């Protein structure tokens, strides 16, 4: 296809710079990387200081739920990536379906997270809880980092799901289409970043033995 | 594996569904591997194997799902700069910490 954008996209802007748009999104993602990176540094230092207590803390987490949630997020990354191929091929309905499945998987992740946290709270493990404060300092640090890092990550999952819901509206209305889909690409990039952060959170919190 | 099309005069890659599914299978396999390895007592190798597997998974997502592989060279340079900055953060903190 070599038609000009103005001809191909009746309602599109005459001056569009998709490469620039994606570059802007990547720059934003780097700031997110630094935000989480700072926390990973804090995690590294405290784990270096309290290896045995981090191990004890990790034993309280449910590896099965963690593994299921990892697979849920990886699958959601697959479906959102495929939605771009679908829109590139002009398959609007398929693209909508794939983004819809991605949002559904985001909700599955959050429901699992809810049960996981709920279980911890019921066991008396939440920030500043008397039970937690009675534990050794290393375990208090472990659970502090656990709640802050997975909490901030869950917030990103919520924001990502909302962004993707808006993308569905754009696809439905046709402002994301075969010839112009950079908005969907940006939304998908955000979603993949959320996935990558979890790829690192999962072994660092769940798989210490 | 990839078709070439034009989006706004810019050459774009259309990644096939099959290729995405293949990468996804790899990611699932690596997840199973990292969980299985966590059950074995590898002592100080635990953290190294876990982070190595996580890094491979991260690179697969970055390169294929996020299309970094098919992007302009400037994206690769950006990504490398961001990675190096993060690495400097980690290394400097540990230097400071070790000689505290």
pLDDT category, B5, cuts 50, 70, 90? low
CA distance A53 to A144: 13
CA distance A114 to chain B (A): 22
How many domains, chain A? 1
Any B CB within 8 A of A189 CB: yes
List of chain A residues whose C-beta atoms are within 8 Å of the C-beta of residue B11: none
pLDDT for B59? 96
Structural domain contains residue A10: no
Q: In chain B, at which residue ranges do the beta strands (DSSP E only) sit?
A: 2-7, 10-15
Residue A21 pLDDT greater than 90, yes or no = yes
> Would you state the structure tokens that stand for residue A120, as one six-digit string?
């911890």
Q: Give the closest of A1, A33, A48 to B6, CB-based.
A: A1
List of chain B residues whose C-beta atoms are within 8 Å of the C-beta of residue A75: 24
Q: Give the closest of A41, A81, A192 to B93, CB-based.
A: A41
**Which runs of consecutive H residues, i.e. helices, occur in chain A?**
5-8, 18-49, 51-59, 63-88, 92-122, 130-133, 137-173, 182-206
> pLDDT per residue over A41-99, tens digit each?
999 999 999 999 999 999 999 999 999 999 999 999 999 999 999 999 999 999 999 99
Chain A to chain B Cβ contacts (< 8 Å): 129
Of B96, B1, B6, B34, the C-alpha closest to A3 is: B6
Structural domain contains residue A139: yes
CA distance B97 to A41: 11
> pLDDT per residue over A160-190, tens digit each?
999 999 999 999 999 999 999 999 999 999 9
Q: The CATH number of the domain where A30 resides is what?
A: 1.20.120.80
List of chain B residues whose C-beta atoms are within 8 Å of the C-beta of residue A63: 35, 38
A203 vs B38: CB contact, 8 Å cut-off?
A: yes
Distant-in-sequence, close-in-space partners of A118: CB < 8 Å, separation ≥ 6: none
The interface predicted TM-score of the complex, written ipTM, equals 0.89
Q: How high does pLDDT run on average in chain A?
A: 92
CA distance A36 to B97: 20
* Residues facing residue B10 across a β-bridge: B7
Structural domain contains residue A8: no
Domain of residue A58, residue span: 17-206
Structural domain contains residue A183: yes
Q: Which helix (H) or strand (E) holds B8?
A: none
pTM as predicted: 0.90
Length of chain B: 100
Structural domain contains residue A2: no
List of chain A residues whose C-beta atoms are within 8 Å of the C-beta of residue B72: 19
User: How open is the CA angle B38-B41-B46, to the nearest 5 degrees?
Assistant: 55
Structural domain contains residue A85: yes
């Amino acid at each position: 296809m070599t038609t000009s954008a103005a001809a191909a996209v009746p309602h599109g802007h005459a001056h569009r710079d998709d490469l620039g748009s994606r570059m802007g999104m990547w720059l934003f993602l780097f700031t997110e990387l630094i935000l989480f990176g700072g926390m990973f540094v804090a995690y590294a230092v405290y784990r270096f200081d309290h290896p045995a207590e981090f191990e004890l803390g990790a034993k309280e987490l449910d590896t099965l739920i963690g593994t299921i949630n990892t697979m849920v997020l990886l699958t959601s990354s697959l479906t959102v990536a495929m939605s771009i191929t679908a829109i590139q091929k002009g398959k609007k309905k398929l693209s909508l379906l794939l983004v819809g499945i991605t949002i559904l998987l985001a909700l599955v992740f959050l429901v699992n997270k809810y049960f996981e946290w709920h279980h911890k709270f019921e066991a008396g493990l939440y920030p500043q809880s008397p039970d937690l404060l009675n534990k050794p300092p290393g375990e208090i640090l472990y659970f502090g980092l656990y709640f802050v890092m997975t909490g901030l990550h869950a917030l990103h999952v919520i924001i990502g799901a909302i962004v993707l819901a808006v993308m569905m509206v754009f696809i439905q209305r046709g402002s994301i289409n075969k010839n112009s889909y950079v908005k969907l690409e940006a939304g998908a990039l955000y979603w993949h970043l959320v996935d990558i952060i979890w790829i690192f959170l999962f072994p660092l919190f769940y798989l210490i033995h | 594996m990839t078709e070439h099309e034009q989006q706004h005069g810019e050459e774009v890659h259309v990644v096939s569904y099959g290729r995405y599914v293949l990468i996804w299978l790899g990611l699932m396999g690596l997840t199973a591997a990292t969980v299985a390895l966590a059950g074995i007592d590898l002592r100080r190798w635990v953290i190294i194997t876990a982070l190595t597997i996580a890094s491979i998974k991260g690179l697969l997502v970055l390169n294929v799902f996020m299309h970094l592989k098919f992007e302009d060279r400037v994206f690769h340079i950006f990504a490398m700069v961001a990675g190096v900055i993060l690495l400097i953060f980690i290394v400097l903190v540990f230097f400071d910490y070790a000689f505290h």
